[in-house]
Structure 1
Amino acid sequence: MDADCAHSRIHELDAVRGVALCGILVVDIRQLTDMRATVEPGVVDPMRHLLCVLFEGRFFPIFSFLFGLSFSLFLDRAAQCTDRPRLVLARRLIALGVLGLIHQVFQPGEALLPYAIVGLVILLPAAVLPRWVLLLAGLVGAIGVPVALGGGLGLVPGLFLLGAAAERFGLADDLRNRGWQVVVVFALAAPAAVAAGMWEYRIPYAELWTGSVAPVAGLLGALAYFTGVLLLLRTETGEVFAEVLEPMGRMALTNYLAATPLILTAEPWLRLSDSNRYDTVLGLAAAIIAVQALWSYHWLRWFRYGPVEWVWRCVTWWQLVPNRLTRQERQKLTVAYEPGR
């Protein structure tokens, strides 16, 4: 594979992907350890309910949207490097499905296998559609599905299409110049997300899964988180966070898969199963995030891609792809991280 075919990174979106990874981790810990939702029959744990409003359904949509956007970016790049870009993308999705199938054994309900299936069945064929059709179909899927059917994996097709449409409209290439648009969306989404979250919190826990309140509140929360992080990254404080979050986002696949054995290893010691120790959930999430942040940062000082990302890329292009950074590349990276730059 020609070096020019390597996918150029969009640093802000990598950082947002890192944030989404952290948010999903909190939900995954609860699901993997099968914790209780109630403190007594019919009485939901208030901490559990609060975490539901803050995390559940908020970060999965961001991850799905960015997957669709990255898919479209990769397809464009592949079209410049091969005469059969759709074969390359199909192989990429099949490889992701195999990873997901293996991961399902340890984390039932994980996202990679559904991502691969939806990508092959919907996203890849839809790539030939005009961008306005992609946008309309994405809006119908992302808004109509939660209102009519609820959230969860049913949101994936619409969010994939929305992400692909966003790339076709130039969002990825012109993100830095869209500051005022991000501000407007955040100004509208943030109060709406707060109002929807308060509404969701007041609904009895048992009724959350039978209506459209939770998925709609989740989408509004996702939009507020997404645009809020983009605005934060434009500040001096945000630059500090970006140094931590961006490497995690670049290695999102590796970190997502690695979190499962870390959670399962910690469970016998923490004994979260059938408990209400949600403060421990936050502590475990913080510990895993710290480990993955350090691991990602130091790994990417020596390599272009995370270990799983590298294997995935090799299968995608069906050849060994150079991964280790040259001495000159490492020197440039060191200069880029010098204080004041």
Structure 2
Amino acid sequence: MKRIHELDALRGFALAGITFMNILQMTGMPQPTGRNADHLDSFLFQIAFDQRFAPTFAVLFGMSFALFLRGSASTHPRPRLLLARRLVALTLLGLAHALLQPGEVLRFYGVFGLLFLVAASFLARRWVLSLGVVALVVPVVLASLNVFLLGPFPIPGLLLLGMAAVQYDVLGRMNRPAVVLALLVLAVPAAIWQFHGGAGLAGVSRAQLTGLVFAPLFAMLFLLRPWRFFEPMGKMALTNYLLATLLVLAVSGVVSSYLTLVLCGLGIGVVQAVLSHFWMRRFRYGPAEWAWRCVTWWRIIPFGTAPSTGSPSRTPASPEVPPSSGAARPR
């Protein structure tokens, strides 16, 4: 199966954006209180980064799992077993990573993937889409009524919508300029509503809700002209996600304001981009992707060398997330 280069680039772009929020969480930088009008630096940071990339990353994980099932079905008699093994490994890795990164999400992807994606792979695509919409709308409605914060609860819906996006070939059918225009119209009142929610932690709930508008907006803007600069980062996204934690710990002592936070985030992104370009010129998989693939297939996978320029890669559409096989056929 040929790689989907747009998804690799978008995954790298989303990963770079998530790093900024991880720096804020891991450094424990004091956040302001009161009105956003008195703390415009905090508000601009939230508008640019808070929950602006995590929803995209979750959808891409769902898409990658669906691609894994589709790709592995032709080479293994029990592709769902491979997917389950892959998700268990992801959960264990996430639990270990949480010791360093309090905002760790891989464990939620693993657990929710086991609970929802494996079961959804037996369903027709219309049911996958319907369940994804319901699983996303219910926590959003409850959060908007102040029943609880969203937290990780939108993840099941986002994973299912990612699986459905592959089954319906959304990327191939989407009128991207029209989608961008519609999201821009929604983003204006969403930003105003978030502005009136208060600065710092007081605005977290609204930032999570408006992120469901801004995340697809940023993704669609990116896909109008994907930057191949991010593609190697996306191909080894799991490695870069773990590497970012170590880099954040290394620079945490210098983060004292939103300006230094953004500068550190940009610096980490540059380091990851350079290392990713260097690595993917020589190898087919990132180190963490290779280890995850070995656990998935329960054998040592040849590390391989990067395919020559111009020859189609036969690796799944996301090395960090295996292609899924059992995706239901259209009905």
Q: TM-score range by the shorter chain?
A: 0.7 to 0.9
My pick for the range that moved more, 98-107 or 138-147, is 138-147
How many percent of aligned residue pairs carry the same amino acid? 42
Q: Which residue of 1 aligns with 2:267?
A: 287
* Conservation of the 8 A alpha-carbon contact between 1:58 and 1:222: yes
Alpha-carbon shift at residue 330 of structure 1 (Å)? 3.5
* Conservation of the 8 A alpha-carbon contact between 1:25 and 1:259: yes
Q: Deviations over 1:213-235 (max 9, x none)?
A: 433311110111111111122xx
CA distance in 2, matches of 1:13, 1:302: 21
Q: Deviations over 1:96-131 (max 9, x none)?
A: 112111101101230011110001111111111111
Q: Deviations over 1:65-106 (max 9, x none)?
A: 010011011011111111111111111111111211110110
Aligned-partner residue type, residue 231 of structure 1: L
1:99 aligns with 2:99: no
Do the aligned partners of residues 146 and 295 (structure 1) sit closer, same or farther apart at CA in structure 2, a change above 3 Å counting? same
Alpha-carbon shift at residue 332 of structure 1 (Å)? 4.8
SS at match of 1:81: coil
Q: Which residue of 2 aligns with 1:222?
A: 215
Q: Which residue of 2 aligns with 1:153?
A: 152
Unaligned runs of 5+ in 2: 144-148, 312-331
SS at match of 2:153: helix
Which one of 293, 296, 305 corresponds to residue 316 of structure 1?
A: 296
Matches for 1:1-341 after TM superposition, within 5 Å: 8-38=2-32, 42=34, 45-149=39-143, 150-171=149-170, 175=171, 177-178=172-173, 181-205=175-199, 207-209=202-204, 213-233=206-226, 241-242=227-228, 244-268=229-253, 270=254, 272=255, 275=256, 277-325=257-305, 329-330=307-308, 332=310
Do the aligned partners of residues 254 and 126 (structure 1) sit closer, same or farther apart at CA in structure 2, a change above 3 Å counting? same
SS at match of 2:52: coil
CA distance in 2, matches of 1:283, 1:109: 20
Aligned-partner residue type, residue 128 of structure 1: F
| Number of residue equivalences | 303
CA distance in 2, matches of 1:290, 1:306: 17
Q: Which residue of 1 aligns with 2:315?
A: none
Aligned-partner residue type, residue 207 of structure 2: A
Aligned-partner residue type, residue 233 of structure 2: M
CA distance in 1, matches of 2:123, 2:309: 43
Alpha-carbon shift at residue 157 of structure 1 (Å)? 0.3
* Conservation of the 8 A alpha-carbon contact between 1:107 and 1:260: yes
Provide the alpha-carbon RMSD of the alignment.
Answer: 1.8
Do the aligned partners of residues 331 and 158 (structure 1) sit closer, same or farther apart at CA in structure 2, a change above 3 Å counting? closer
Do the aligned partners of residues 72 and 57 (structure 1) sit closer, same or farther apart at CA in structure 2, a change above 3 Å counting? same
Alpha-carbon shift at residue 202 of structure 1 (Å)? 2.7
SS at match of 1:154: coil
Aligned-partner residue type, residue 241 of structure 2: Y
* Conservation of the 8 A alpha-carbon contact between 1:259 and 1:288: yes
CA distance in 2, matches of 1:87, 1:178: 31
Unaligned runs of 5+ in 1: 1-6, 234-240, 334-341
Alpha-carbon shift at residue 288 of structure 1 (Å)? 0.7
Q: Which residue of 1 aligns with 2:321?
A: none
* Conservation of the 8 A alpha-carbon contact between 1:21 and 1:252: yes
Q: Which residue of 2 aligns with 1:4?
A: none
* Conservation of the 8 A alpha-carbon contact between 2:11 and 2:60: yes
CA distance in 1, matches of 2:150, 2:304: 41
Provide TM-score, normalisation by structure 2: 0.87
